[in-house]
Structure 1
Amino acid sequence: MSHQTRTDTPKSTAAPRFLAPGDGLRQWWDGLGRPAKWVVGIVGFGVLALLPLYTPGFIDTPGISFGGTMAAFVMIAIIAIGLNVVVGQAGLLDLGYVGFYAVGAYTVALLTSPDSPWNKLGATGFFSKDWAWLSCVPIAMAVTALAGLILGTPTLRLRGDYLAIVTLGFGEIIRLMADNLSDITNGSRGLNQIAYPRVGESERLPNGVFSSGNSTGHANYGTWWFWLGLALMIAILLFVGNLERSRVGRAWVAIREDEDAAEVMGVNTFKFKLWAFVIGAGIGGLSGALYAGQVQYVAPTNFNIINSMLFLVAVVLGGQGNKLGVIIGAFIVVYLPNRLLGVELFGVNLGDLKYLFFGLALVIMMIFRPQGLFPVRQQLLTYASSAKKLLSKADDSKAAA
């Protein structure tokens, strides 16, 4: 009887894997403790808030106000965070998210525009001239969340491409309703003179710092809208971050990874998908209210399907499921076209080719990095490696005992 001795095979020394810039930044962020993350976040958002006042020349947008660019960025970032809840967290493919954006904007417009038959501007109390926009923001979020509930209840039992087609139809239905209900929405002419915050009124600025009359200097009306949107974005990030760490967030991740397995394990998939849809819709309505107040004009052409695709591009580029990553994706979507505005190559304005650039970027990303620039899976892998290390230490201690 032969006796075979067991020999341990030496561990292979694999070559270090190349880390993309997004991976390195993500691993650095995951290695920080929670207090350190708070410090970095406060400093980072503080620097971001000061950018319109102290704009470095290499990031300035010569063809357009940098404050206005940042105001547009923060609105798209809020949309991207809301869409990320639906697409990135719960794994629901929503191609008609612009519909919720439109519902929020039209809610504010219908309640405050003189062209609307439902105009409440000038009434006493919360709909007075000074408080009308602020009063409409929670109403817009509630109406949009209700729209998400009405849409999601019959449709969220669908999956994949079927759900995508239904949501795509929803976005187009909202746009066509705004275009055809001319007695209410003023049709293709749109709604003008929408209310906005009346803050900082003075002799030089009789309508306040948020009015379009404040168009000169660094602290123009775009900068003030950026600061307001940044404060709201931080509040939404805190809200969504708490949800991610709760039972709801864990249920969303389970549904995203494998809906059938999650349902077998006792997760009420329909309920949690509906929660994601309603929460995402409410956040989209908030961004629509911001848009209506800043532009003070809404029309059906502002809410076409192309905008919905751009919102999805921000989520895909940044990294689905990573709420900080989608903010960077939103910055890319807004900043690059404005930075290239007025730059000509062979007689072509590069700022007009944004759809071409983003289409090429998506193709390249899907080939080389489908998880996005800042993938959320890196964090999950970090937790997995930490768990393996703890288990290996426990096994070593047992063996030594």
Structure 2
Amino acid sequence: MAFLDGLLPAYYESIIITVGIYIILALGLNLITGVTGQLSLGHAAYLCIGAYTSAIVTMKFGLPFIVALLCAGVVSALFGVLIGFPVLRLTGDYLAICTLGFGEILKSVLFNMPYVGGAMGMAGIPPKTTLLNTVIIALLVIIVMIRMERSRFGRSLVAIREDEIASECMGIDAFKYKLQMFAIGTFTAGLGGALWAHKIMVLQPRDFGFMKSIEILNMVVLGGLGSIPGTILGATLLTAIPEILRFSSEYRMIIYGALLVIMMIFRPHGLMGNMNFNTLVKRTFKRFNAGADKEQKNKKSGMEG
């Protein structure tokens, strides 16, 4: 089963694992912010919950990684429901501020909780994250998101994003759908957190602050709000670009920021807008067929000449 592990040099394998984890995290946030239109600035909090839950389950209870992975997702989803129940009645900036506040509260609580190491964090977490299990989980999350997008549930979420009042007039229980969506998005963040904890093997509360949430949000916005292939592309680019720019370490973040600004100027709706996989496949085949027809016409005209 571990045929992928050791296939690549350790450095490249680590980058691919990190890309996979960020794809999982970004897809969860895309469901919340991109598909449903609910601005969340506290996604790192659910990443944090998943990471600490997984570390506790494996280190303090000695349970297998698969159990820790499921516990991380479930606990993150439970917190998502508990927080979502009061705050999802809000919209816009008010919702963003509430989710941001929860993230900061969680970080402060962890700083003062000796059971998980307090400000020193948790160290010695077993390295259970591999290229194989990261790829499998990322693919499962992508498949679930695609199926959800094509379902009645997904179409209801899009309707809520476009006009919540109109969707309720059509019989959609907006609050119920938003709560279910938030549970799924935070469950996904918990899975990413478990993989993250068992990759870096050291957890500290300060690593899950506001900027981590903004980093994940950047991936969703850059790829295109509501676009699954766009989110995957955005997560891949924003994870890989800092590594590619390591040759100029002193200017790395300046170049990184400038690239973001340039991309958003010329592609304000993201690299792939609202494009889904169906549209992407159709356009790809259309271009392929157009290229084949052009080549055939050139051959034909050459033979006639």
TM over 0.5: yes
CA RMSD of aligned residues (A): 2.4
Cross-structure match for 2:49: 103
Shift of the alpha carbon at 1:234?
Answer: 0.8
Cross-structure match for 2:144: 239
Contact in 2 for aligned 1:321/1:375 (Cα 8 Å)? yes
CA deviation digits over 1:147-167, x for unaligned, max 9? 000010000011011111111
Shift of the alpha carbon at 1:254?
Answer: 0.4
Runs of 5+ consecutive residues of structure 1 not aligned to the other structure: 1-48, 56-63, 114-118, 122-126, 198-209, 211-224, 383-401
Q: Name the SS for the 1:65 alignment partner.
A: helix
Cross-structure match for 1:369: 267
Opposite residue 230 of structure 2, the aligned amino acid is: G
Q: Name the SS for the 1:74 alignment partner.
A: helix
Cross-structure match for 2:284: none
Cross-structure match for 1:76: 22
Opposite residue 268 of structure 2, the aligned amino acid is: P
Shift of the alpha carbon at 1:52?
Answer: 8.5
Q: Which structure 2 residues correspond to residues 146-157 of structure 1 after superposition, within 5 A?
A: 146-157=78-89
For the pair 1:93 / 2:39, whether they are aligned, the reply is yes
Contact in 2 for aligned 1:108/1:194 (Cα 8 Å)? no
Opposite residue 191 of structure 1, the aligned amino acid is: M
Cross-structure match for 1:189: 120
Shift of the alpha carbon at 1:80?
Answer: 0.6
Cross-structure match for 1:328: 233
Whose RCO is larger (CA < 8 A, sep 6+)?
Answer: 2
Opposite residue 76 of structure 2, the aligned amino acid is: T
- Assess, with a 3 A threshold, how the Cα gap between structure 1 residues 106 and 320 changes in structure 2: closer, same or farther: same
For the pair 1:136 / 2:68, whether they are aligned, the reply is yes
Picking from 250, 272, 284, the partner of 1:349 is: 250
CA deviation digits over 1:317-373, x for unaligned, max 9? 1111111111110111110101111x23xxx6233x1xx445444444444322100
For the pair 1:286 / 2:191, whether they are aligned, the reply is yes
The whole-number CA distance in structure 1 between the counterparts of 2:25 and 2:276 is 24
Shift of the alpha carbon at 1:378?
Answer: 7.7
Contact in 2 for aligned 1:104/1:286 (Cα 8 Å)? yes
Opposite residue 18 of structure 2, the aligned amino acid is: A
Percent identity between the aligned chains? 37
Count, aligned residues:
278
Cross-structure match for 2:291: none
Opposite residue 171 of structure 1, the aligned amino acid is: G
Q: Which structure 2 residues correspond to residues 374-385 of structure 1 after superposition, within 5 A?
A: 374-376=272-274
The whole-number CA distance in structure 2 between the counterparts of 1:307 and 1:317 is 15
Runs of 5+ consecutive residues of structure 2 not aligned to the other structure: 281-305
- Assess, with a 3 A threshold, how the Cα gap between structure 1 residues 299 and 327 changes in structure 2: closer, same or farther: same
The whole-number CA distance in structure 1 between the counterparts of 2:197 and 2:223 is 26
Q: Bigger CA drift: 299-308 or 248-257? A: 299-308
Q: Bigger CA drift: 188-197 or 86-95? A: 188-197
The whole-number CA distance in structure 1 between the counterparts of 2:278 and 2:232 is 20
The structure with the greater share of residues assigned to helix is: 2
Shift of the alpha carbon at 1:297?
Answer: 1.5
Contact in 2 for aligned 1:313/1:358 (Cα 8 Å)? no
Shift of the alpha carbon at 1:190?
Answer: 1.1
